[in-house]
Structure 1
Amino acid sequence: MRVISLCPSNTEIVEYLGLTHLLVGVDDFSDWPTAIRDLPKLGPDLSIKMDLVEQLEPDIVLASLSVPGMEKNVEALQERGIPHIVLNPQSLEDIEQDLIRTAEVLGVPESGVKAAQEFRSRLERVKELSNNRGHHPKLYWEWWPKPIFTPGKINWLTEISTAAGAVNVFADVDLASVQTDWEDVLRRKPDYICLAWVGVRKNKVQKSTVTKRQGYDQLGYPSDNQILILEEELYCRPSPRLLDGLEKLYGLIHD
């Protein structure tokens, strides 16, 4: 089969299924695994070049609605009659089900069932470790610094926090993404600040962005080790790589 992926999380699902060799084109932001490096790039995920998609004659396109604005890609695929499916995972269970669904569409349903089982068992292993922890630290996740955006209740990072034996301090807000301000963050008194800015590489993020904010000292941290600079690709994409992020997070907050 000839398969095209229109966003990084879809590309990562294909890799998790062991089917990366089927890909013939990906969006500009897909950067993992390294095997896709030389594939044709079809534009950023919000501005896919549909003429190029059509020229590659895909048997199936893996579209997405994980980011607002992707709807136009789906509309263009429909208008051109290009075979496609649309993934829109909002939770870890959704990702698990997307492994099964994608494998079915690609003609290897057994691979999907196996991958989903592995996904579930990895998740349950960390949950079991977390259940034995008496302390559940409070985490403030920052997706974007100005204005501040943070994941709310309806988001995989709230699930990741819980699975790691912690609590997302914005889990009481019934939204996927919350625009708030620094004063609100301070009131919630997080034990850790987790910086995972969407689209920004870890080496570009500085702790000083937070430590220089007015009122930072109110948090009473013994050091800036309470500020965790994390790989956005392990936390901001709804793909199976969230489990890599989960396992790393568990090690960071439980020493």
Structure 2
Amino acid sequence: MTQRLVSICPSNTELLHLLGLMDRVVGVDDYSDWPPELVAGLPKLGPDLNIDMEKLQALQPDLVIASLSVPGMEKNIERLEQLGLNYLVLDPKSFEDIYRDVETLGQACGVQERAAEIVAELRGRVERVVNAVPKGSEALNLYWEWWPRPLISPGSLNWLTELSRLVGAENLFADKPGDSYTAEHDEVISRAPDYVFAVWCGVHADKVKPSMITERPGWDAVPAVREGRVYVLEEGLYCRPSQRLFDGLEELARLLYPELQL
């Protein structure tokens, strides 16, 4: 049985919690902050893109779990390979990938039955949302902002494109290839999003004010700005491919359709 686990990506830490494996986790990256009561006392190994490999080695892990959902993680994976450490790399871009990651972790850690139960629960949550949202109306355009300077937004190959469609909406830049897209201000304005969602990666919602977006030159022409539909959401519910993304899905459905009962 895999006894000593190290996670070097926040979403992986959250999936280990979901699987009931936090008692085996002996170290995490600096950005793993959830669940707070369980990660607070764990050794921190540095930012997810600059892991202290000597400190990691000293923990004598049976398995290190990395994720390519964090751009630049390849450098850590190369070092793990060079050091001869046992590691697992996840690369989720969709809800199906998350289900598969849960099963992969469950297999690697000997909790396959628990993993299968969790996947069934997660699929059920998605099905309830899809069945509840109104059908037949024109899709709302959602501008997801991951970063303000430059403007970075999810592209076609990202879970937020799928998440948007599950609630009957469309990611503003779903037509752009890849998992992220660097936009110009004029592009956002001309595409006229119905909603703007600020989910700045690594920045807590209480540090971001809607006025940081609404007061940008020219953005007063954007329908979302004119109609007061600029929201700052907790990035942990939208930027991490873990069970918390399903919380974000339900939150988004309730925000777009306040009459829903989920």
TM-score by length of 1: 0.96
- CA positional deviation for 1:220: 4.2
What amino acid maps onto 2:22 in structure 1? T
> Secondary structure of 2:50's partner?
coil
The one-letter code sitting in structure 2 at the alignment partner of 1:60 is L
Residue 95 of structure 1 pairs with residue 98 of structure 2: yes
Is the partner of 1:100 in helix, strand or coil? Answer: helix
Distance 1:231 1:7, change over 3 A: same
Instruction: Work out whether 1:81 is the aligned partner of 2:84.
Output: yes
Counterpart residue number, 1:37? 40
Q: Are positions 1:126 and 2:134 aligned together?
A: no
* Letter matched to residue 128 of structure 2: R
Matched, 1:238 2:241: yes
Partner of residue 19 from structure 2, selected from 17, 40, 45 = 17
Please tell me whether the aligned partners of residues 139 and 169 of structure 2 are also in contact (alpha carbons under 8 angstroms): yes
Which residue of the other structure, out of 148, 151, 154, is the alignment partner of 1:148?
151
8 Å Cα contact 2:142/2:172 also seen in 1:
yes
Any idea what SS the aligned residue of 1:63 has?
strand
Query: CA distance change for structure 1 residues 222 and 199 in 2, over 3 Å: closer, same or farther?
Result: closer
Q: What are the Cα deviations for residues 10-51 of structure 1, in whole angstroms up to 9, with x where unaligned?
A: 001111112111111111000001211101111110011111
Q: Which amino acid aligns with 2:152?
A: F
Q: Any idea what SS the aligned residue of 1:28 has?
A: coil
Cα shift readout 1:127-162 (whole Å, capped 9, x = no counterpart): 111254635321111111111111111110011111
- For 1:79, give the aligned amino acid: Q
In structure 2, distance between residues paired with 1:131 and 1:99: 30
Aligned counterpart for 1:252 among listed residues 235, 243, 255? 255
* Structure 1 counterpart SS, 2:34: coil
Are the aligned partners of 1:5 and 1:27 in contact in 2 as well (CA < 8 Å)?
Answer: yes
User: What are the superposed Cα offsets for residues 146-191 of structure 1, whole Å, 9 maximum, x if unpaired?
Assistant: 1111111111001111112211111111221000111101111111
Q: State the one-letter code of the partner of 1:72.
A: K
1:176 is matched with which residue?
179
**Map of 1:59 onto structure 2:** 62
Contact 1:137–1:253 under 8 Å retained in 2 = no
Match of 1:189 in 2: 192
Indicate if the aligned counterparts of 1:25 and 1:41 stay in contact, CA closer than 8 A.
yes
176-185 or 68-77, which deviates more: 68-77
1:69 aligns with 2:69: no
Distance 1:220 1:97 in 2: 38
SS of 1:144's equivalent? coil
Q: Distance in 1 between matches of 2:51 and 2:224?
A: 44
1:114 maps to what in 2?
A: 117
Q: Which residue of 2 aligns with 1:48?
A: 51
2:210 paired residue among 196, 204, 207 = 207
152-161 vs 218-227, greater mean Cα deviation: 218-227
How far apart, in 2, do the equivalents of 1:172 and 1:62 lie?
Answer: 31
CA distance in 2, matches of 1:222, 1:7: 34
SS state at 1:194 partner: strand
Q: Paired residue for 1:4?
A: 6
What letter is aligned with 2:28?
Answer: V
Answer whether contact 2:153 2:181 (CA < 8 A) is retained.
yes
CA contact (8 A) 2:146 2:152 kept: yes
SS in 2 for 1:39: coil
Conserved in 2, the CA contact under 8 Å of 1:48 and 1:73? yes
Note closer, same or farther for the CA distance 1:196–1:229 as it changes in structure 2 (3 Å cut).
same
d(CA) in 2 for partners of 1:20, 1:227 = 36
More off after superposition, 28-37 vs 125-134: 125-134
Q: In the aligned structure 2, how far is the partner of 1:24 from the partner of 1:168?
A: 38
Bigger mean CA offset, 190-199 vs 15-24:
15-24
CA distance in 1, matches of 2:48, 2:225: 41
Secondary structure, in 3 states, of the residue corresponding to 2:193?
A: coil
